[in-house]
C-alpha cells in the first residue's frame, strides 16, 4: 500500500534532498510525495528537477498559512513531514514578523488541519537553536527551551504548538531537532555556501566576532536518514535530536574552507558579531541512536570536500541566486 506524504518546504535545501531521497533508487518505494512550497527566495524548483518526472511526485505552489489549501491537501494524504520555515537568523534580527507568520501561524495551520483530517503521522522538523546556548556538555531532548533569536523563538513556539496537538488531541506528532546542516543545494546566504561561493569568486568572507562560536555540523544525507527513521520508527509525542558529531569553531571551519578553496586569511574580513549570537550548540543524540539506530555516516572532511566540488561544478545553480539576493 502506498503512503501519501505531504512535504512542506520541499523545494528548499533540506526538504528537497528528503524528497529526492524518498523517490530515488534507495528510497522506500512505497510512497507518493506532494511538495507544498511557497517558492520564496530560498525555495528553488530546480532543486526538484531530479524527481519532476516521477509518477509519484507532485508540486503544489502555495502558502502553509492558506487554511483552505492546506485543508484540501491534508484530506488527500496520510502523513506530513513539515520543513517549511523562515530559517535565516540574520533576517529574523532585521525583521521577525515573517518568521512568526510562517513558523508559528503556518505550523498551527498545518497541525490543526492534520488533526481535523486524521493524519496518521506528523513529523515536525525543528532546530537545536531552540535550546539556546550551552558552554559545555550537550543538550538532551528533556532540556528546557531557551531561544535567543527571533528565528529560534519562532521555532520553539512551533515545537510547542505541534506537541500540544499530540497531548490534547492524540495526533501522532514527532519532533526532530537538528544541528547545523551542510551539503549541496544549500542557499548561499548560510555560512558554508556563502564562504565557498565567495572564495570561488575571489571575494572576501565575513567572519563574525572572534570566530569562536561553535557549531555541530550535520550532512544532509545524515539528517535525511534521521528524519526517515523518525517518520517510520519514531514514537508519538517524542522529540529526537539529530546531530553530526563534528563540533568546530567558526574560525576552524573558515580555515578548512580556505584550504579547500585555495585561499588564505587575506580573504577573511572580521565583522561585528551578530546580535545575541549563541556561543555554542551541541545536541545529545543518544536517544535517536538507542531507539531508532541512528548514527551519522558522512565523514566531515569528505562531506565538505564533496560540497566544495559541487559548488565548483554548479555555478549555473548558485550564481543567479546570489545575484537575485545580492549576496
How many Cβ atoms are within 10 Å of 273's Cβ, its own excluded?
14
How many Cβ atoms are within 10 Å of 93's Cβ, its own excluded?
16
Q: Which three cell numbers stand for residue 142?
A: 528533556
Residues forming the active site: 128-129, 151
Exposed/middle/buried for residue 253 (C-beta within 10 Å: 0-12, 13-18, 19+): buried
- Euclidean distance between CA atoms 238 and 52, whole angstroms: 33
- Euclidean distance between CA atoms 44 and 257, whole angstroms: 25
- Euclidean distance between CA atoms 123 and 139, whole angstroms: 20
Per the CB < 8 A criterion, the answer to whether 116 and 260 are in contact is: no
What is the DSSP code string of 178-230? Answer: E-EEE-TT--TTSHHHHHHHHHHTT--EEEETTS--EEEEEEHHHHHHHHHHH
Per the CB < 8 A criterion, the answer to whether 155 and 102 are in contact is: no
The region that residue 214 occupies, defined by phi over 0 for left and psi between -120 and 50 for alpha, beta otherwise, is beta
The region that residue 177 occupies, defined by phi over 0 for left and psi between -120 and 50 for alpha, beta otherwise, is beta
Amino acid at each position: 500500500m502506498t503512503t501519501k506524504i505531504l512535504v512542506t518546504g520541499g523545494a528548499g535545501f533540506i526538504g528537497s534532498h528528503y524528497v529526492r531521497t524518498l523517490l530515488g533508487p534507495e528510497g522506500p518505494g512505497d510512497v507518493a510525495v506532494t511538495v507544498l512550497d511557497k517558492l520564496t527566495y530560498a525555495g528553488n524548483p530546480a532543486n526538484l528537477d531530479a524527481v519532476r518526472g516521477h509518477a509519484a511526485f507532485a508540486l503544489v505552489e502555495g502558502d502553509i498559512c492558506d487554511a483552505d489549501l492546506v485543508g484540501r491537501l491534508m484530506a488527500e494524504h496520510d502523513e506530513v513531514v513539515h520543513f517549511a520555515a523562515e530559517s535565516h537568523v540574520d533576517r529574523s534580527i532585521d525583521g521577525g514578523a515573517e518568521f512568526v507568520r510562517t513558523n508559528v501561524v503556518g505550523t498551527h495551520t498545518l497541525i490543526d488541519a492534520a488533526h481535523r483530517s486524521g493524519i496518521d503521522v506528523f513529523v515536525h522538523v525543528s532546530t537545536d537553536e531552540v535550546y539556546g546556548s550551552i558552554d559545555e556538555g550537550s543538550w538532551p531532548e528533556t532540556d528546557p527551551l531557551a531561544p535567543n533569536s527571533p528565528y529560534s523563538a519562532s521555532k520553539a513556539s512551533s515545537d510547542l504548538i505541534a506537541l500540544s496537538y499530540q497531548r490534547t488531541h492524540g495526533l501522532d506528532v514527532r519532533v526532530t531537532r537538528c544541528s547545523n546542516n551542510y551539503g549541496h543545494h544549500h542557499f548561499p546566504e548560510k555560512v558554508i555556501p556563502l564562504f565557498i561561493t565567495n572564495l570561488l569568486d575571489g571575494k572576501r568572507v565575513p567572519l563574525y566576532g572572534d570566530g569562536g562560536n561553535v557549531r555541530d555540523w550535520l550532512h544532509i544525507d545524515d539528517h535525511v536518514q534521521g528524519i526517515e527513521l523518525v517518520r517510520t520508527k519514531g514514537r508519538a509525542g517524542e522529540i529526537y535530536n539529530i546531530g553530526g558529531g563534528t563540533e568546530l569553531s567558526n574560525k576552524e571551519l573558515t580555515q578548512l574552507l580556505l584550504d579547500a578553496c585555495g585561499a588564505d586569511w587575506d580573504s577573511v574580513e572580521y565583522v561585528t558579531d551578530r546580535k545575541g549570537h549563541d556561543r555554542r550548540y551541541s545536541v545529545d543524540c543518544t536517544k535517536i541512536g538507542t531507539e531508532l539506530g541512528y548514527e551519522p555516516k558522512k565523514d566531515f572532511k569528505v562531506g565538505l570536500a564533496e560540497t566544495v566540488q559541487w559548488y565548483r561544478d554548479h555555478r549555473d545553480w548558485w550564481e543567479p541566486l546570489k545575484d537575485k539576493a545580492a549576496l
